[in-house]
Amino acid sequence: MKTEILIPSRLFPGDTVGIAAPASPFDAETFYRGVDVLKDMGFNVSIPDDVFAKKGYLAGSDRHRAESLNRLFADRNIKAIVCAKGGFGSVRLLPFLDVETIRRNPKIFVGFSDISALLWALYSRCRLVTFHGPVITTLGSADQETKDALCSMLLSSDFRLEIKAENGITLRRGSASGPLAGGNLSTLCHLAGTPFAPVFKENILFLEDRGEPSYKIDRMLFQMKLAGCFEGIAGLILGDFQDCGRLEEILKIVDNIFKAYHIPILAGFEAGHGKRNLTLPMGLETELDADEKAVRLQVTGKRFLAALEMT
């Protein structure tokens, strides 16, 4: 069965971007620096009155954060949603997502790190293309390439994009195509065994992480492998593994765990927790060319049929 993927409409200068706080609380100064970047791009920014709510290590209670996110999707004046910060807490919102409201109001949704739980849930449950990209609290200090990539993705009337991994490493040669999916390894690993467990069959899988020693990278990948998360994947892209030890050791771990998978693998892609965090549309049909160290996306129009069964 083929199911319809929802591709959100592009933005225009002057459109309103809403800010969501689905995870950890954050510093006001850092937050407003990121908001200023969105304004400099030509967007109006809508900041909920309770965006600075705090409950321990969370930006408010689970219900509060979920209801705020659902309201942003329901608000027809809000054309896109950018998350304020990752950290922790997104997974706690998954049971409270208003799937029907989100499907009726598809819009651009941007975030990374802990927000990967929402990126996956919105794609797998709502069939919404989401965007793995900077959050507000990283946007203010982001390099120009990161800002340009986000702005270009928000304003594009269609998706025709080739991203070359300038310092990429071809771990396994070849090319493959399929919808792009994935995000932060630690976050996705903790979804295994839940009703939101990631199944990446026929997808080009993207993974990144930060601050995890190599043995934990090994453990998380092996757990996901045992859980069947990687069965039938079309290809693998590794983003930044910031402060995770020697890259050579991580690549050996990946090569070992995926040795039985006959797929192209490209490492060194500039997305994730590194200095540069290029925006990637999660759910769009993607070509991975590991030989050319390139990722290509080309989709025009509002909707297309995914080559995945409804999960």
Determine how many CB atoms are found less than 10 A away from the CB of residue 286: 27
Sign for the CA dihedral angle at 157, 162, 163, 166 comes to negative
Q: Of all helices (H) and strands (E), which one includes residue 53?
A: none
Burial bucket for residue 177 (CB in 10 Å: 0-12, 13-18, 19+): middle
Write down the pLDDT at residue 297: 82
Q: Which residues of the chain have pLDDT under 70?
A: 1-3, 157-160, 298-311
CA distances from 253 to 65, 96, 117, 173, 214 (A): 37, 36, 24, 17, 8
pLDDT at 298: 66
Superfamily of 4-158 according to CATH:
Murein tetrapeptidase LD-carboxypeptidase, N-terminal domain (3.40.50.10740)
Q: Encoding tokens for residue 162?
A: 């080739």
d(Cα 290, Cα 237) in Å, to the nearest integer?
9
| End-to-end C-alpha distance for the chain, whole angstroms | 11
Within 8 A by CB and 6+ apart from 206, the residues are 132, 180, 181, 182, 183, 236, 237, 238, 239, 269, 271, 280, 282
Active site residues: 113, 208, 273
Q: Where are the alpha helices (DSSP H) in the chain?
A: 28-40, 62-74, 99-104, 116-126, 136-139, 144-155, 185-189, 214-226, 247-257
Nearest to 200 by CA among 219, 171, 224, 176: 224
User: Residue 285, Cα to own-chain centre: how many angstroms?
Assistant: 15
Tell me the longest C-alpha to C-alpha distance in the chain.
Answer: 51
Say which amino acid occupies 103: R
Packing angle of the helix pair 247-257, 214-226 (nearest 10 deg): 20
Whole-number pLDDT of residue 156: 75
Per-residue pLDDT at 159 = 59
How do the domains of the chain map onto residue ranges?
Answer: 4-158, 161-305
Angle at 210 (CA atoms; ends 83, 200), nearest 5 degrees: 75
What single string gives the DSSP state of each residue in 228-283?
A: TTTTT--EEEEEEEETSS-HHHHHHHHHHHTTTS---EEE--S-SSSS----EEET
Q: Coil, helix or strand for 288?
A: strand
pLDDT of residue 57: 96
Digit-coded pLDDT (tens) for 255-271: 999 999 999 999 999 99
Classify 161-305 by CATH class.
alpha beta
- The pair of structure tokens assigned to 29 is 């100064």
Domains 4-158 and 161-305 share a fold: no
Residue 166, pLDDT score: 82
